[in-house]
Amino acid sequence: MTDIRTVPQTSTDPDVAAGVAQFLSPVVIGLTALGVDGKQAHWHVRGPNFQSVHELLDMVVDHARDYADTAAERVVALGLPIDARIQSIAQNTTTPALTPGFQSTDRLIEEIIAEIDAVLYDLRIAVTELGTLDPVSQDVAIEISRALDKDRWFLFAHIASS
Q: Which residues of 69-88 are buried (b: 16+ CB within 10 A; e: fewer)?
A: ebbbebbeebebebebeeee
pLDDT tens across 83-115, in order?
999 999 999 998 888 999 999 999 999 999 999
Q: Please name the amino acid found at residue 25.
A: S
Using a cut of 0.85, tell me whether the model's pTM lies above it. Answer: yes
Q: What are phi and psi of 158, to 5 degrees?
A: -75, -20
Q: What is the pLDDT of residues 52-81, one digit of tens each?
A: 999 999 999 999 999 999 999 999 999 999
Sign of the torsion formed by the C-alpha atoms of 108, 34, 41 and 55 = positive
Go through the domains of the chain in sequence order and give each one's CATH number. 14-156 (1.20.1260.10)
Average pLDDT of the residues in 13-18: 92
Percent of the chain with pLDDT over 70: 94
